[in-house]
Chain A
Amino acid sequence: MKSKLCRLFLFFSDQIPKARCTGIKVSCLFFSFLLLNCGFSPVLLANVATTADIDQNVKGIVKDKDGKPLEGATVTIKGTSVGTQTDRYGEFTFPNLEKGSVLVVTYTGYLAQEIKLADQTKIEIILQEDPAALEEVVVVAFGQQKRTDMVGSVTQVKPENLRIPSSNLTTALAGQAAGIIAYQRSGEPGMDNADFFIRGVTSFGTGKVDPLILIDGVEVGVTEMARLRPDDIESFTIMKDATSTALYGARGANGVIYVTTKQGKEGPASISFRSEASYSAPTRNVELADPITYMNLYNDALQSRSPLERPYFTREYIDATEEGNYPILFPQVDWREELFKTHTINHRHNLNIRGGGKVARYYVAGSYAQDNGLLKVDPVNNFNNNIDLKSYTLRANVNVDVTKSTELIVRLNGIFDDYNGPIEGGKSLFEKVVRSSPVEFLPTYPKDADHEYVQHIMFGRPGDAERSFINPYADMVSGYRDYTRSVMMAQMELKQDLGFITPGLRFRSMFNTNRTSRFEIRRSYNPFYYGITSSDRRTGDYTLEVFNESSGTEYLDYNVPGGDGVRVQNSIFYMESAIDYSRVFNDKHSVSGLLVNIIRSSIDAHATNLQVSLPSRNVGVSGRGTYSYDSRYYAEFNFGYNGSERFHESHRFGFFPSFGLAWSVSNEKFWEPWKEKIHNFRVRGTYGLVGNDQIGSATDRFFYISEVDMSSGGRSYTFGQQSRRTLSGINVRRYANPGITWETAYKKNLAVELGLFNKVEIQADFFSEIRKNILMNRADIPTTMGLTADVSANVGEVSGQGMDMSVDFSHSFNNQMWLQARGNFTYATNKYRVYEEPTYDKEWWKSRIGQPLNQPRGYLAERLFIDDDEVQNSPFQDFTGQPNIAGDIKYKDNNNAGSINSLDEVPIGFPTVPQIIYGVGFSFGWKALDLSAFFQGSAYSSFFVDPVAVQPFVDGKQILQAFADDHFSLNNPDVYALWPRLSINNHNNNVVRSTWWLHNGDFLRLKQAEIGFSLPENMRRRLHAKTARFYVSGTNLFNLSHFKLWDSEMGGDGLGYPLQRVFNLGINVTF
């Protein structure tokens, strides 16, 4: 099978450069790719390519006027579509050229050049810059603008910077772009989307706070963006201020991420292939104490609060365990080792083909990625319970020139995830490691003489213990789940040049539909649990007995869960039509205008109630007008007029205007003297409004009508005797409030751009925002009103401010050496301006006003109590539970009331969302070698270690090594010990939120490093490849932070699936 496929591929790889590429061939090739991608390896490709033969050539090199080679310039023979592209060194080779043929060389941003061939076999072509296209083009809302004309605040990220060895694009965002606050809390395949916000969070409550994501103009979810392959991305843009987002009035308030995918290019087919394999392992594991320490400390914990209790683990038991003669009777279990492997191998493959003729151009790409989890699989089961996430993407963008002035674009995109994994997910299993007793039973017992005929795995778990033990191994291997998620996106866009009406007028219309489907199937059996019922400590004999003979099963059962997010069927229709106009009058007055109409409708099949089942809809008209004079003075006006189905008729539409001004100082006459040194100096400012209709939780729509649960289980009551009759009650879940309307952001932005020595580009934006009409619950309604639901209103206000800046440096040395460096920095802070809360007369610190959002609040832990007398003589700490003793946490009595209660809680630490995110990186190249490294950091954030999650012994939890080493005890009466006095039960006093558990979330990590080697020309020739590069890269290579228990980027989720350190091997070949 494999060899046949090789031949098939050989056929195509041979044919394509020569043949005129047709759509059919392309799709054939793509089909072969799909067949191949499972068993295909880069080595195979190399073998195939060496067999191709080489003819007489014409060699050429394409350079710019400074002599710098141009990579990717298109060289075609005039009158045909036969052509090629230049490689990394600007070189191209043409086989078998007739004398007298004319070569056409084109390159974006340069004027096309024609060369008639004489006898020469080596030619050098120097392209002249096209003054019109010289400027970098930036994607803006519903269009494009020249970088130099920008008034709004927009950051463009180079797609190659987003290329990290991960199949999740969101994990690459942190530190890559000025203005993005991002962090990743989990490393679990399929659950590892990073959280990201543009310029921080400026709203609170349950509504949407993360940015609007658009791919090719269409709103998509985070997962769709996560599955994008950097190779397919043409541009990645972040829109931050009012001017750049106002056109998305309905949903732009939290900023916009706009991605466009690559389109076809006129020229011969260019095939690019990338393949990566990576080694992935946790950046850090949580250290647990060994079983002997566990038992000793358990006894200490028991007796610290009940001194009369007998030790739970007797001396003999501990000694016998330590001796280890009878590991079945006296087990010592390392649950992490039982459950997880130390590392896993993942791989990713991408293939794309790009080309086209005069009439049609295409870009077709497919990718495949497989991410494996760290879970072990029991050989007795013949199914795989490890995480295995396969994701496939398929993209076809085709542009057709229907007439000279009409262009039709069809984009098809499919994203498919096939997941196989444990029933309850990796996070929960990692957390269970900490919750499982290391000494009382084994994960599985070997078959003994009494159980010779048992067919199932004999899982361990005592059935009669009063402590509720769990056996995570049984939970892990007793079943598996599959889910399948597919997103199909079909898009048609029509562009019409209306120059015949008036020059510069264009029209375009786009229709798009997205269909998402996700379903899940779980298959599992009920494990049989065994325990030792009697044993002889001298001989090691024991009897095993099954505890749940009636409920265990040997056969698999299945279920198809239907909960929220588990089963998704969703259809989104979107349409936009726009007229735009742009023209330059008298070479000085540049005018443009845009008017766009949008309609969007989304409907979900898996609705939980009638109101949620209704479609979500938006309509809107947006517009833009720009004027610039002489490339020096710029003005721009934008507006969005949007309607949302969620609000009452009278508040349904919102108008969101914005305007901006810019001044290119360096284009002024008087700047001439400094132009050499400071080639660009520009200031710009914008002000405007943007809206957000996604307020409240997703299930809480239509605030203007009430929501009544006509059959509420919580309100049910049972009457009757033998055949009891249960009537479910009626419950108001929301009270109608027709006044609820848009959340509105008032944004200001002021920016300075500076270009130095033609090498350094600096851009700094200072922004501030006031978010008004934030939906929140009314706080002044006493409980005596007896309302069954909270009453909410648009009363909250938040202000936010900060700055983001980026510095880019690039320099080419003479001897084929180049260096690029970049850095960016984002600082975003915010505070409540209006927050409805009761009047705090005395306890002013309870008020949120003036405090940042996500501000942790808690008690001020002073230290631990020295002794029991001090407990008696200190203010009473009012936390229900057992009385405090020496070594429990002592809190500060802020209001001097003589007791510690909720009035003493104060804001503590930094907000949980980092206020500063920064990144610094460089790339360096010398001949065929290139090297890059990127550091990313986060600062000004705090997080709580959840003491309930880590507290030793409670609910069978283990004790972390750090706590075993450093806790208060009578032998170690350290009042600043890491862990207070041990307890076998939850001790409320010690687990309330306080400064004791608050940690600094700052970190700096080597996020990415890469070394690449590009094959020299002679070897590439043999491969028929235009470029070929091998590289080794790694992510999360090291981390500096104050916090030592786990990777601090995970914040409070540290016991979950750890972040991954990845070492990666890749190859990228272009034909």
Chain B
Amino acid sequence: MKYLKTTIIACIIAVSVGCNKWIDVVPDNVASLEYAFRMRSTAERYMAGCYSYIPNFGSMYYNPGLYGADEFWLSSDKATWTNWNIARGQQSVSSPLINYWTGGSGGTDLWEAISECNIFLEHIGIVPDMDNYEKRQWAAEVKFLKAYYHFLLLRSYGPIPIMRENIPISASGEEVRVFRRPVDEVFEYIVELITEAEEDLPLQLMNENSEYGRITLPIALGYKAKILTYAASPLFNGNSTYANFANHDGTVLFNIEYSEEKWKQAVDALEQAIMVAHLQGYQLYEFPLNQQTQNIPDSLHLGLTNRGTVTDQWNREIIWGHNSSTTQLQTWIQPKALSEEQRVYSTPNGSTGVPLKIASLFYTENGVPIDEDRTWDYNNRYGLKVAEFEDRYYIKQGETTVAFNFDREPRFYGSLGFDRGIWYGQGNFNQEEPYWLRLMIGEFGGKQQAGWHSVTGYYAKKLVHYTNSNSANSTYNAVNYPWVILRLGDLYLLYAEALNELNGPTAEVYDYLDRIRSKAGLLGVLDAWQGFSRIPDKPQTKEGLREIIQRERAIDMAFEGERFWDLRRWRTAPDELNQPITGWDVDQNNTIGFYRERVLFDQQFRVKDYFWPIQQQDLIVNKNLVQNPGW
């Protein structure tokens, strides 16, 4: 008994002694931020994280450039598409669409992106198992990305705060409440950062197969030139609309003085970028014929060149591409059915229509605007016409369609699909019996229900890779081409534009413009206007040539997400985006009814639409921020 008692007392003492170690459960090597920079392989992944914020431009939901302006139009049941809602004037302060400032509604969080780049730049130096040159190269890539993200914000919001370095989390409230900086200062910082990166960037990638998409010198030079062209453009150069736009402390955010020097800088940068690109072998794209397409006529070949510029992956014109998925986009663009069999079981839904005004932009076969061509019956453009033998590669022979669709430039037929129009490819490579569209009610391509067809009667064929096939029931095999962010043709057009702004019409301007036109199978600009235009001298004035360059850009870069930004940059948006969106009356089952122009939407562009609103909540949190004018 006594023994028992002793044991019990001993037990009491033993169990009552608490042990602090007991609750110290965290082992030493729990991953923290420092672990990301302990090895080359983790640092590389951190760098991938910096890349990951490049907006997913190849997705219909994330690229405001695609559905946000007037190039594409959807049926009313797509009212949830955030970027389309921008086009419909639904941008809002409470929940901004494509919100790059805080992330959300189709926008990536670009401030987070910049912060990640800063973390990378702060830490890359400490990675032990890397060569110095490699560290410098990676740092240069991330510097470029940091500049690029600042630019994307600038493009959307105008003046923005500059985040040169990260502010520590422990910083006081006042330190974190940053101010917006004047536009010129932001441009200067971005350009400076890219210039700094240039010296360490490679001319080309050693291993394209595993590295394609990484930043190279041609990308940096090309994009810097594009940024400088933005800086020189009317929106940012001598724009007095925002004369009173200032921070609470009085800092004026827009410089209202026009500066020719800005165009000079753009010209120099473009010249250098094009030179380096040429040295690296970049050249304008031409569709390479293969065993399936070897017998196609020139007309189809030109169309495929137009389509392939974007959809032929890794072609020699593409300077910078983004490996995001474009298959989903293509299913929203490709018509539901190219044949009777595809009418029922078909994955593509072709909800993306192209408004008539965009179709009107394309030149006639003579390379001049439809309202200027002396040989093209502009007044009778809505009349009907039967396709002849010589039209057979563009329009199904013997079928009737609107005169508007006849005798247009090859890019019209390459970029657009329309009722009775030939649709080459998509599994049918017989140039004599290709697919052709039938879009009237009751026909296989006609409207069946509210969505799933083009509301305008035009399809953006350009973005559909010509080999995509609608093979089996509910299966759509699409080529997942990378989205083009920068291509040589873009630089040519910018160069022509900048040169014209700086020096007026010169041989060099015509030269670069004509390279684009010749790729499209058109006459040179001077010859075309002399030969066919009602205003033959148009290319000889700075203003006339400016108009021509802008139109050339709109046609050549149609559906590439550029028009949205160009119209703002040129300040032509109030003219261009204040017109009704129209299309053919696709609710009709006969030719006469079908080819009546129908208004789908009265588009409005207000001054405030130049820039995104900053979300209300952000202004409440940071009282130093001012809202964009008009919001």
The verdict on A652 contacting chain B, using a C-beta distance below 8 Å, is yes
The verdict on A403 contacting chain B, using a C-beta distance below 8 Å, is yes
The verdict on B391 contacting chain A, using a C-beta distance below 8 Å, is no
The verdict on A716 contacting chain B, using a C-beta distance below 8 Å, is yes
- Given contacts A403-B4, A723-B210, A782-B177, whether A464 and B344 have CB atoms under 8 Å apart is yes
* Distance, CA A507 to CA B54, complexed state (A): 67
> Are B210 and A782 in contact, CB atoms less than 8 angstroms apart?
no
* Distance, CA A82 to CA B571, complexed state (A): 104
The verdict on B211 contacting chain A, using a C-beta distance below 8 Å, is yes
- Given contacts A466-B449, A880-B90, whether A310 and B79 have CB atoms under 8 Å apart is no
* Distance, CA A465 to CA B77, complexed state (A): 13
**1/0 contact string of A697-740 vs chain B (CB within 8 Å):** 00000100111101110111111111111011111100110000
Contacts of B4 in A (CB 8 A): 403, 406
The verdict on B206 contacting chain A, using a C-beta distance below 8 Å, is no
Of the candidates B12, B49, B114, the one whose C-beta lies within 8 Å of that of A507 is B12
Minimum CB distance partner of A647 in chain B: B23
Minimum CB distance partner of A619 in chain B: B18
* Distance, CA A879 to CA B212, complexed state (A): 41
* Distance, CA A577 to CA B17, complexed state (A): 10
> Are A643 and B23 in contact, CB atoms less than 8 angstroms apart?
yes
Main DSSP-derived SS at the B contact region: loop
- Given contacts A717-B51, A786-B113, whether A465 and B167 have CB atoms under 8 Å apart is no
Contacts of B1 in A (CB 8 A): 403
The verdict on A838 contacting chain B, using a C-beta distance below 8 Å, is yes
Task: Report the minimal beta-carbon distance from A571 to chain B, rounded to whole angstroms.
Answer: 14
Task: Report the minimal beta-carbon distance from B446 to chain A, rounded to whole angstroms.
Answer: 13
- Given contacts A509-B11, A708-B36, A838-B621, whether A721 and B94 have CB atoms under 8 Å apart is no
Segment with Cβ contacts to B, from A232-240, A543-551, A998-1006: A543-551
Contacts of B622 in A (CB 8 A): 782, 784
- Given contacts A577-B15, A621-B18, whether A879 and B49 have CB atoms under 8 Å apart is no
> Are B345 and A463 in contact, CB atoms less than 8 angstroms apart?
yes
Minimum CB distance partner of A614 in chain B: B25
Minimum CB distance partner of B101 in chain A: A783
Of the candidates A579, A788, A882, A903, the one whose C-beta lies within 8 Å of that of B76 is A882
* Distance, CA A26 to CA B346, complexed state (A): 69
* Distance, CA A714 to CA B51, complexed state (A): 11
Contacts of B314 in A (CB 8 A): 721
**1/0 contact string of B340-379 vs chain A (CB within 8 Å):** 0000111001000000000000000000000000000000
Minimum CB distance partner of B344 in chain A: A464
Segment with Cβ contacts to A, from B296-304, B493-501, B511-519, B612-620: B612-620
> Are A720 and B210 in contact, CB atoms less than 8 angstroms apart?
yes
- Given contacts A614-B26, A705-B26, A735-B169, whether A716 and B621 have CB atoms under 8 Å apart is no
> Are A645 and B77 in contact, CB atoms less than 8 angstroms apart?
no
The verdict on A504 contacting chain B, using a C-beta distance below 8 Å, is no
> Are A710 and B76 in contact, CB atoms less than 8 angstroms apart?
no
* Distance, CA A366 to CA B163, complexed state (A): 67
Task: Report the minimal beta-carbon distance from B314 to chain A, rounded to whole angstroms.
Answer: 5
Segment with Cβ contacts to A, from B257-265, B412-420, B421-429, B471-479: B471-479
The verdict on B526 contacting chain A, using a C-beta distance below 8 Å, is no
Task: Report the minimal beta-carbon distance from B540 to chain A, rounded to whole angstroms.
Answer: 45
- Given contacts A550-B473, A783-B101, A881-B79, whether A312 and B449 have CB atoms under 8 Å apart is yes
Task: Report the minimal beta-carbon distance from A261 to chain B, rounded to whole angstroms.
Answer: 24
The verdict on B570 contacting chain A, using a C-beta distance below 8 Å, is no
Minimum CB distance partner of A309 in chain B: B450
Most chain A CB inside 10 Å of its own CB: which residue of B19, B91, B451, B620: B620
Minimum CB distance partner of A706 in chain B: B32
> Are B109 and A783 in contact, CB atoms less than 8 angstroms apart?
yes
> Are B8 and A496 in contact, CB atoms less than 8 angstroms apart?
yes
Of the candidates A619, A621, A783, the one whose C-beta lies within 8 Å of that of B618 is A783
* Distance, CA A651 to CA B309, complexed state (A): 63
Contacts of B178 in A (CB 8 A): 782, 784
The verdict on A125 contacting chain B, using a C-beta distance below 8 Å, is no
Segment with Cβ contacts to A, from B38-46, B182-190, B459-467: B38-46
Minimum CB distance partner of B346 in chain A: A464
Interface size on A, residues (CB 8 A): 102
B75-91 with Cβ < 8 A to chain A? 76-77, 79-80, 82, 85, 90-91
Contacts of A500 in B (CB 8 A): 5
* Distance, CA A772 to CA B382, complexed state (A): 74
Most chain A CB inside 10 Å of its own CB: which residue of B35, B49, B349: B49
Task: Report the minimal beta-carbon distance from B583 to chain A, rounded to whole angstroms.
Answer: 13
> Are B49 and A310 in contact, CB atoms less than 8 angstroms apart?
no
> Are B210 and A786 in contact, CB atoms less than 8 angstroms apart?
no
The verdict on A863 contacting chain B, using a C-beta distance below 8 Å, is no
Contacts of A597 in B (CB 8 A): 15-16, 18
The verdict on A148 contacting chain B, using a C-beta distance below 8 Å, is no
The verdict on A984 contacting chain B, using a C-beta distance below 8 Å, is yes
The verdict on B430 contacting chain A, using a C-beta distance below 8 Å, is no
The verdict on A985 contacting chain B, using a C-beta distance below 8 Å, is yes
* Distance, CA A908 to CA B48, complexed state (A): 46
The verdict on B209 contacting chain A, using a C-beta distance below 8 Å, is yes
Minimum CB distance partner of B16 in chain A: A597
- Given contacts A788-B112, A880-B90, whether A549 and B473 have CB atoms under 8 Å apart is yes
Most chain A CB inside 10 Å of its own CB: which residue of B4, B23, B345: B23
- Given contacts A710-B35, A783-B111, A786-B166, whether A719 and B44 have CB atoms under 8 Å apart is no
Minimum CB distance partner of B160 in chain A: A784
> Are A727 and B45 in contact, CB atoms less than 8 angstroms apart?
yes
Of the candidates B19, B51, B94, B472, the one whose C-beta lies within 8 Å of that of A902 is B94
Of the candidates A498, A617, A719, the one whose C-beta lies within 8 Å of that of B22 is A617
> Are A878 and B92 in contact, CB atoms less than 8 angstroms apart?
yes
Task: Report the minimal beta-carbon distance from A891 to chain B, rounded to whole angstroms.
Answer: 12
Task: Report the minimal beta-carbon distance from A502 to chain B, rounded to whole angstroms.
Answer: 13
* Distance, CA A780 to CA B619, complexed state (A): 11
Minimum CB distance partner of A731 in chain B: B49
> Are B616 and A986 in contact, CB atoms less than 8 angstroms apart?
no
Of the candidates A312, A595, A729, the one whose C-beta lies within 8 Å of that of B46 is A729
**1/0 contact string of B386-420 vs chain A (CB within 8 Å):** 00000000000000000000000000000000000
The verdict on B434 contacting chain A, using a C-beta distance below 8 Å, is no
> Are A785 and B115 in contact, CB atoms less than 8 angstroms apart?
yes
Could you jot down 24 A-B contacts, CB within 8 Å? A403-B1, A509-B11, A548-B474, A577-B12, A652-B23, A706-B32, A708-B33, A711-B45, A715-B48, A715-B49, A717-B52, A719-B51, A719-B211, A727-B45, A728-B45, A786-B109, A786-B115, A786-B163, A787-B169, A878-B94, A879-B94, A880-B91, A880-B92, A901-B92
Chain B residues near A (Cβ < 8 Å): 1, 4-5, 8, 11-12, 15-16, 18-20, 22-27, 30-33, 35-36, 42, 44-52, 54, 76-77, 79-80, 82, 85, 90-95, 97, 101-103, 109, 111-116, 118, 161, 163, 166-167, 169, 173, 176-178, 208-214, 313-314, 323-324, 344-346, 349, 448-452, 472-475, 587, 616-618, 620-623, 625
Known: A575-B15, A730-B45, A839-B623. 18 other contacts (CB 8 A): A403-B1, A509-B15, A548-B473, A577-B16, A615-B25, A619-B22, A708-B32, A717-B49, A718-B323, A720-B323, A727-B44, A780-B173, A781-B169, A784-B163, A786-B115, A786-B163, A788-B112, A881-B90
Please give me the 10 A-B residue pairs with the lowest Cβ-Cβ distance, nearest first: A786-B115, A729-B49, A727-B48, A715-B49, A902-B94, A782-B622, A717-B51, A901-B94, A786-B111, A577-B15
